Structure 1
Amino acid sequence: MLPSAESVAERATEILAAIQGDPEFSAFTAASLKYDADWTCYSGTPIISRYDQVTDAPPLFAEGLRALCLKAAVFEKTGDEKTAEIPIAIPVDEMTHAMIAQPQILARITARIGVQVIHQTDQEHTDYRAGDYTYQAYELAWGALPERYWIGHEEAQRRLGILRVKYEAAGFLNLGQAHLIDFAEAVAA
């Protein structure tokens, strides 16, 4: 059972402040943003309209951090990892992967502030919807969610359909999980 959105919002704001106040926060931020060549996938940030990693990565980092803080607050209140995997928007979830890819620094920060970051791919939920529990807790903690990054599930699926058609026309199948490029073939200049 989920704890009240109010109590999660209150604790998430405390967790966020503690993380941002940690002496290694700037290094964590820099390392997460430097992961940019590795964390882009065909079905995450590309669903953001006119996405530009240079300008979108910093605000997306803020959203990923807020999502991790909400999940940490739910876990703290329930002790249940599955319950803590609250719905997150696809692009925000993708950014959390860049953050979690900094395990040593993230572990030191969370150990110092006494929280656990929760994220497990096989349990994650990227079916965020405006008005859901995540939306309510976020709004109570930080105000309106930026819709540019917090794309609802139905709209995300619509955009993925558009991307799928464009990718397949270019020879990329299954949202980039396969392709028809033969690197042994000569490529015309």
Structure 2
Amino acid sequence: MSQAELLPAPAVVADTARSILDKIRNSSEFHAFRAASLEYSEDWQCFTGFPVVQQWHLETDAPQLFEEGLRALALKAAVHQITGDDQLSEIPIAVPVDEMTHAMLAQAQLVARMAASLDVSVIHQTDQEHTDYRSDSYTHTCYSLAWGEPPARYWLDHEEVVRRRRVLGALYESIGMERSGREHRLTFEPVAA
């Protein structure tokens, strides 16, 4: 049986994800979790995640992207609740949304306490994640059934992300940032005494 055949019906995932998201929002830890996730902005220096969003602006985009991250985590948690399978639960998520989930999951103690109190599994493992989201995918179908059409600003198809990363990569290289910020040959002058 293929992985696609093992995935639960999208309508069931959508119903379960809505229920999980409601539980998260009603958690006594939710407001602290949201505030901490959005405060994480000083460390949101990513060259290939958020910058693929057209005219990205951290302070303006972060609240909506937080909502999208919540929905992505709820979808993955729903698949896990239904199947009990970590790998199946790593459904494809769009790159900017996935990047936001990293900021959210950095609030480790809040996430752990909420997950335990709500009896929800928060699924994310970098070596198993899939950022090859497409608008004709299983994830898109589940999301649409749960909350309507995902905002295309953040839910970018994989091929568009790859194209935008190439554009960004060329721009970064033009200022000496190689491999999309993974290395550079810049030197920093010592501070005068």
Query: TM-score interval w.r.t. the shorter chain?
Result: over 0.9
The alignment status of 1:105 with 2:110, answered yes or no, reads yes
Looking at structure 2, the residues matched to 92 and 126 of structure 1 have their Cα atoms a distance apart, in angstroms, of 9
In structure 2, the residue corresponding to 1:35 is in which secondary structure?
Answer: helix
**1:44 alignment counterpart:** 49
The alignment status of 1:67 with 2:72, answered yes or no, reads yes
Q: Deviations over 1:52-72 (max 9, x none)?
A: 001000000000010000000
**1:32 alignment counterpart:** 37
The alignment status of 1:139 with 2:144, answered yes or no, reads yes
The alignment status of 1:91 with 2:96, answered yes or no, reads yes
Looking at structure 2, the residues matched to 45 and 24 of structure 1 have their Cα atoms a distance apart, in angstroms, of 26
Q: Deviations over 1:129-164 (max 9, x none)?
A: 001000000000000100000000011111001000
**1:117 alignment counterpart:** 122
The alignment status of 1:178 with 2:171, answered yes or no, reads no
Identity of aligned residues (%): 53
AA of the residue aligned to 1:21: N
Report the number of matched residues.
186
Looking at structure 1, the residues matched to 119 and 190 of structure 2 have their Cα atoms a distance apart, in angstroms, of 55
- Asked if the contact 1:39–1:95 (Cα under 8 Å) also holds between the matched residues in 2, the reply is no
In structure 1, the residue corresponding to 2:150 is in which secondary structure?
Answer: coil
- Asked if the contact 1:39–1:94 (Cα under 8 Å) also holds between the matched residues in 2, the reply is no
Looking at structure 2, the residues matched to 175 and 121 of structure 1 have their Cα atoms a distance apart, in angstroms, of 19
In structure 2, the residue corresponding to 1:122 is in which secondary structure?
Answer: coil
AA of the residue aligned to 1:2: L
Looking at structure 1, the residues matched to 182 and 113 of structure 2 have their Cα atoms a distance apart, in angstroms, of 34
In structure 1, the residue corresponding to 2:180 is in which secondary structure?
Answer: helix
Looking at structure 2, the residues matched to 62 and 52 of structure 1 have their Cα atoms a distance apart, in angstroms, of 16
* TM-score normalized by the length of structure 2: 0.94
Q: Deviations over 1:26-63 (max 9, x none)?
A: 10000001111213310000000000001000000000
Q: 2:86 aligns with which of 73, 81, 89?
A: 81
Mapping 1:147-186, distance limit 5 Å? 147-184=152-189
* TM-score normalized by the length of structure 1: 0.96
Moved over 3 A (4+): none
How much does 1:90 deviate? 0.3
Q: What are the ranges of 5 or more consecutive residues in structure 2 without an aligned counterpart?
A: 1-5
Q: What are the ranges of 5 or more consecutive residues in structure 1 without an aligned counterpart?
A: none
